[in-house]
Amino acid sequence: MTAALPQAYFNPPRRLPFVLPTPPQGKKLISLAINESPYGCSRKAWVAAEARFGNPNRYPDPSSADLRRAIGKQFALDPERIVCGNGSEELLDVVARMFVRAGDEIIMSQSGFFQFAVVAARLGAELKRAPENDYITDVDGLLALLGPKTKLVFLAVPNNPTGTLLPVDDVIRLHENLPPEIVLVLDLAYGEYMEKVDLDRLMRYGGAKPNVVITRTFSKAYGLAALRVGWALAPDWMTPGLNLLRGVGNINAIAQAAAAAAVEDQVFVDRVVAETTAERSFLARHFTRLGLHFVPGYGNFLLTRFPDEKRKSAAKFIDLAMREEGIWLRPVGEPGFANWSRIGLGSRAENDLLVRLLEEYLK
Ligand SMILES: *Cc1c(COP(=O)(O)O)cnc(C)c1O
């Protein structure tokens, strides 16, 4: 006789509903597969990280107070309403754990961010996806899915993997039509790449609502993906709960120091955004010339469709790019994108190389 095993909260699927991208090993890798910045990070962040590395025996501040103060100062926000996470990934999970139980429903756009589905799977929640118009989130489609079990709506602006931008007025209309007991999570991981007026409007609007959580990240424009730092702006009634649910020492001390310095260096961020925008136009121009179809995007990547499933497929090009130049690309995991690749924007030299390979391949 064995003792009865504890009852699981739900029956997890035998196979994960997602594939985690593992970077291939190799020194000369050109990574265009996971939306990383090719521009490194602010020199000030680097210096701050190095200084903190001198005291590795000391625990980090579990409340990330300096980092929250730096973020608050930079964006004129109350630090008490900021919650930091081990990547914004952790914060998406934490918000869901606060409001969602197995069997509850989470709503997202058809080709929304894959982490939303990961979060739902972890909790045993039902995930409902609303069809899109031209790869853009459809507000009425989302609203049509609301039901008595709906707890959370996830929305990324700009979205990943599509890169499309739901206009601010539509985000507001979505929120205005949500019952107050449903929480809207606005994932602004690519917010820095938006027009500043639009980003400010979203921050101000969402920041004033009792059922909106906004998430931001240091992984993209700030170029600190390796350190795993994200932050949320949450209503003040919600922050004690979110802080309880996050990991106690969730942001390591080196990451806290680096991110606090990075947020003060907006000159660096502006330069990254300007270069990224220029590279996006560069690739868009060449893709058009080569007859490659892509979704007009606002992030640091372009969702791109290859012309011929058999002879000129995305899969074949992905193999070829890795074999010939060590360029790491990936197919798109979401259903409906069998012959697509979400191509990250590299440096000009990397993008040049990519265009040359594409030209050769598509000839
Ligand atoms: C990259 C990305 C994130 C950021 O994840 P981190 O955990 O902060 O690295 C969040 N949301 C979206 C839509 C993303 O593409």
What is the CA(85)–ligand 1 centre distance, in A? 11
β-pairing, 327-328 with 30-31? parallel
Lowest mean pLDDT segment, chosen from 17-26, 42-51, 274-283? 17-26
Region 199-211: mean pLDDT is 98
Ligand 1 pocket, residue 160 CB under 6 Å: yes
What is the per-residue pLDDT for 306?
96
What is the per-residue pLDDT for 109?
98
CA distance 227 to 100: 28
Region 6-13: mean pLDDT is 77
What is the per-residue pLDDT for 10?
78
- Average per-residue pLDDT in the chain? 96
pLDDT over 80 at 163, yes or no: yes
Domains recognised in the chain with CATH numbers? 20-39+267-362 (3.90.1150.10), 43-264 (3.40.640.10)
Ligand 1 pocket, residue 217 CB under 6 Å: yes
β-pairing, 212-217 with 230-233? antiparallel
DSSP secondary structure letters along 297-340: -SSSEEEEE-SBTTTB-HHHHHHHHHHHH-EE--B--STT-TTE
Region 104-131: mean pLDDT is 96
Cross-strand bridge partners of residue 303: 342
What is the per-residue pLDDT for 157?
98
Nearest atom (ligand 1) to Cα of 90? 7
Helix axes 253-264, 266-289, angle to 10 degrees: 80
pLDDT over 70 at 245, yes or no: yes
**pLDDT > 90 in the chain, percent:** 90
What is the CA(307)–ligand 1 centre distance, in A? 29
Nearest atom (ligand 1) to Cα of 217? 8
- pLDDT confidence bin for 27, thresholds 50/70/90: confident
What is the per-residue pLDDT for 322?
95
Ligand 1 pocket, residue 113 CB under 6 Å: yes
What is the per-residue pLDDT for 2?
66
On the CB side of 359, CA atoms within 13 Å amount to 10
Ligand 1 pocket, residue 110 CB under 6 Å: no
pLDDT over 60 at 1, yes or no: no
pLDDT over 70 at 334, yes or no: yes
- pLDDT confidence bin for 308, thresholds 50/70/90: confident
Cross-strand bridge partners of residue 152: 106, 183
- DSSP one-letter code for 34: S
Q: Would you say the C-alpha torsion 169, 171, 174, 179 has a positive or negative sign? A: negative
What is the per-residue pLDDT for 324?
95
What is the per-residue pLDDT for 144?
98
